[in-house]
Amino acid sequence: MTEPGKALYIIACAAGPAGDVGRLVTMAQEQGWTTQIIATPSALDFIDVPELEKLTGRPVRSRYRKPSEPKPPRADAIIVAPATYNTINKFAHGICDTYALGLLAEAPGLGIPVVVLPFVNSALASREPFRRSVETLRAEGVHVLLGPGRFEPHAPSSGAEVVETYPWHLTLPELGEFD
């Protein structure tokens, strides 16, 4: 359990489980987190923005705010779920061409705990660039939940068949490992 009111940013990427990100929001709120959804631009087509805004009481963010817009609470922790092949590789290489990636690029340097729960197929997960990216992120203290007992890559073209078993529940306990 966390201190009441601590801010958790949940970054949703464009992958099948994104439509169920509200499940993670609810779990986090039950543990006392104030939740903020950040969506990659492509993820906006995967999520129910009005429903998530109602659930969190905050606007879903996918772009940098204008100076006239209110600042969201500073993140005390970040969960990236579902995290795509593309986002994981860009995060590891410091690319920040979206608001979500800009937040992730700064997080390790600011000491903000980051948990990444991938949703990738086995063909992508077997690629050397991806394996190096996971190693790079882990070396920086990012918790990438990939491997036995965590997220296991699915067979190519079978993502829709495993969406219902996406292990959202693994993310929040991992934040306790940063204490």
Q: What is the pTM of this model?
A: 0.95
- 138 class by beta-carbon count within 10 Å (0-12 exposed, 13-18 middle, 19+ buried): middle
Residue 101: is its pLDDT beyond 50? yes
Give the CB-side neighbour count of residue 165, counting CA atoms within 13 A. Answer: 11
* First CA to last CA distance, the chain: 11
Domain for residue 2, yes or no? no
Domain for residue 110, yes or no? yes
Mean residue pLDDT across the chain: 95
Residues 41 and 46: their CA atoms lie apart, in Å, by 10
Q: What would the mean pLDDT of 83-111 be, rounded to a whole number?
A: 97
- pLDDT for 15 equals 97
Rg, C-alpha atoms of the chain? 15
Cβ-based neighbour number of residue 108 at 10 Å: 16
Confidence of residue 75 (pLDDT cuts 50, 70, 90): very high
**Beta bridge pairs of residue 141:** none
- The CATH number covering residue 22 comes to 3.40.50.1950
Residue 159: is its pLDDT beyond 90? yes
**Beta bridge pairs of residue 30:** none
- pLDDT for 3 equals 54
- pLDDT for 115 equals 98
- Domain extent, residue 16, equals 7-64+73-178
**pLDDT tens per residue across span 16-34:** 999 999 999 999 999 999 9
Residue 100: is its pLDDT beyond 50? yes
DSSP, res 112: -
Residue 159, H or E segment: helix 159-162
Q: What would the mean pLDDT of 148-176 be, rounded to a whole number?
A: 94
Domain for residue 1, yes or no? no
High-pLDDT (> 90) share of the chain, %: 91
Task: Specify the number of domains making up the chain.
Answer: 1
Residue 57: is its pLDDT beyond 50? yes
Confidence of residue 2 (pLDDT cuts 50, 70, 90): very low
| Contact residues for 85 (Cβ-Cβ < 8 A; gap 6+) | 118, 120, 124, 125, 130
Confidence of residue 1 (pLDDT cuts 50, 70, 90): very low
Q: Which two tokens stand for residue 120?
A: 């990738």
Cα-based distances in Å from 93 to 98, 132, 134 = 14, 10, 11
Q: What would the mean pLDDT of 77-101 be, rounded to a whole number?
A: 98
Contact call for residues 130 and 85 (beta carbons, < 8 A):
yes
Q: Which two tokens stand for residue 89?
A: 């590789």
**pLDDT tens per residue across span 112-127:** 999 999 999 999 999 9
Residues 67 and 60: their CA atoms lie apart, in Å, by 17
Name which residue leads in pLDDT, 129 or 2. Answer: 129
Domain for residue 93, yes or no? yes
